[in-house]
Structure 1
Amino acid sequence: MAELKHPDLVYDVGMSRGEDTEFYLKKGYRVVGFEADPLLVDHCRKRFAAALADGQLDIVAGVICPDPPASGTVAFYRSTNDQWGTARLEWAERNQQLGSSSSVIQLETVDFAGCLAKFGIPHYMKIDIEGADLVCAKMLLQFTERPDYLSIESTKTDFSALLGEFDLLSKLGYSRFAVVQQQTIDGRSYKGQSLTGNTVQHVFPRGASGPFGNEIAEPYLSPAEAIRDYERIFRMYRLFGDDSPLRRNIIGRQLYKTSSRLQKHLRVAIPGWYDTHAALH
């Protein structure tokens, strides 16, 4: 399949309230945003009405899933934490354990491969859709072009699954990887340039993914170096992560919340969560 890669296009897969879309638009990119939760879709349509009207933004509403049923709808677990909505029951159960309840709604599915064919291959693809990031990445196998940069929220519970993420990204042609601590993005200041050379100043809000491409602060590493970094991170996950003994009871969760407030004040995060950024060249 011959398709076109667009250097001025970004995909925001899991746009939530538009924390990242705002930054991409400021940078002068055209953006295709994907969001399942209808409440968040409505919020973003209102928030970015001007960008929608002038064609700088498209919003695709619905659930991205690996095997859409014939009915065209799937169960979606809308979380009381609006960044944790998911189509995966096990993730909803994890959210419940972490103190966030869910309600189930039926939503239309999205043909992500069809969207890639329709809108084109972006310069950068941010994927953060709570348990289905690799569904989008695998869709790229159907195409000859790849985004220059891609990021996913990496697994926190299964090191063999993490290795599977690197195997897939390497199969897609990505050769350099950065390990980005996401819990430190909140409040980080940015000063750079837009595609047209204008100065862009931005403060990343809570829930934002942060800079991308060659503007991230973290170094790009070889696959082996990045995996060694994750070996250290997974040791911390076993002690403090979502499935750790600390997080499995009410007292432990309260202690964790208290320590999290201190960590935020000190600008550290133990263990936090990480995105893997991948670069083609």
Structure 2
Amino acid sequence: MAVSKHADLVYDVGMNLGEDTEFYLKKGYRVVGFEADPLLVDHCQKRFAAELAAGQLKIVAGVICADPPASGTIAFYRSTNDQWGTICSKWDERNRQLGSSSSVIHLKAIDFAGCLARYGIPHCMKIDIEGADLVCAKMLLQFTQRPDYLSIESSQTDFSALLGEFELLSELGYSRFALVQQQTIEGRVYEGHSLEGNPIRHVFSRGASGPFGAELAEPYLSQAEAIKEYERVFRMYRLFGDDSPLWRNVVGRQLGKVSWRLQKRFGVAIPGWYDTHAALGSG
């Protein structure tokens, strides 16, 4: 499907509290934000009322899924951790093991491919919708144009699934990849310019994905180099990650929480979690 690509457009798929949308708007981009949780949608509508009124921001409320049911609605696990809402029961089970609880609500299913056709292909697409990132990425296969930059939350528990992510990104035409440790983003200071050339300063808050595109602090790697680096990351996941023995009992979870506090105190994150950033082209 041929749809125009817009250099001034960003998709924030999984707005949460608007941590990333704030940065994109400050940079001067038009933003289409997607959020499932009605409480978070309401928060963002209030937070960005001026930008919504000006037309710089559009919020699409509902759930993105691969096969919407005939009813047009889908079950959503609203978590007590506002970053962990999901349509995936396995992810909800993991979240419970990590100490959260959830309630099930039924929400409108979103036609994501239809949104791409309506609003256009963005310059950058950030995807972070707990357990369903690849649903969005796969829908790009229907289009001849692709975002210049795309990011997804990488698998932490299944290396074969991680390899599948790279296969899809390669099929979409992405050839350069950066690994961004997300627990290092909070507190980072960005000093750069808006699309109009005006200087801006931004401090990334908790839950933010950070810079994107050519402004990443992390280097872009070839696919082979990125996979090799993830092999090291997965060795750490096996020791300290969500599916490690550390989190399978009460004592281990308490030790894990102490570890998190120490990591934050000393500015490190072991192993944290990673977003994979993908870029088109070779430049």
Superposed pair shares fold, TM > 0.5: yes
1:181 is the counterpart of 2:181:
yes
Counterpart in the other structure of 2:30:
30
Alignment of 1:218 with 2:256, yes or no, is no
- Post-superposition Cα deviations, 1:57-105, rounded to whole Å, max 9, x if no partner, equal 0000000001100100000000000000000111111000000000000
In structure 2, stretches of 5+ residues that fail to align are none
Which range is displaced more, 260-269 or 27-36?
Answer: 260-269
Per-residue deviation, 1:216: 0.5
Which segments of structure 1 move beyond 3 Å, counting only runs of 4 or more?
A: none
Letter in 2 for 1:3: V
Cα distance, 1:264 vs. partner?
1.0
SS in 1 for 2:64: coil
- Is 1:111 aligned with 2:117? no
Distance 2:86 2:207 in 1: 16
Distance across 2 between alignment mates of 1:48 and 1:77 = 25
Q: Deviations over 1:140-195 (max 9, x none)?
A: 00000000000000010000000000000000000000001000001111100000
Deviation at 1:2, TM superposition (A): 1.7
What amino acid sits opposite 1:84 in the alignment? W
RMSD over equivalenced CA pairs, Å = 0.4
CA shift digits 1:250-270 (9 cap, x unpaired): 111111111111111211100
Structure 2 residue 25 is the aligned partner of structure 1 residue 39: no
Distance of 1:38 and 1:218 partners within structure 2: 34
Which letter maps to 2:64?
A: I
In the alignment, which residue of structure 1 is the partner of 2:101?
101
Instruction: State how far apart, in whole Å, the 1-side matches of 2:165 and 2:91 are.
Output: 18
**Secondary structure class of the residue paired with 1:227:** helix
Deviation at 1:198, TM superposition (A): 0.5
> Aligned with 2:135: secondary structure?
helix
Number of residue-to-residue matches in the alignment: 281
- Spell out the pairing of 1:37-76 with structure 2 (5 A cutoff): 37-76=37-76
Distance in 1 between residues matched to 2:197 and 2:264, nearest whole Å: 34
What TM-score, normalized by structure 2, do the two folds share? 0.99
Within 5 A, what are the aligned runs for 1:1-281? 1-281=1-281
Aligned partner of residue 116 in structure 2, secondary structure = helix
**Runs (5+) with no aligned partner, structure 1:** none
* TM-score, normalisation: structure 1: 0.99
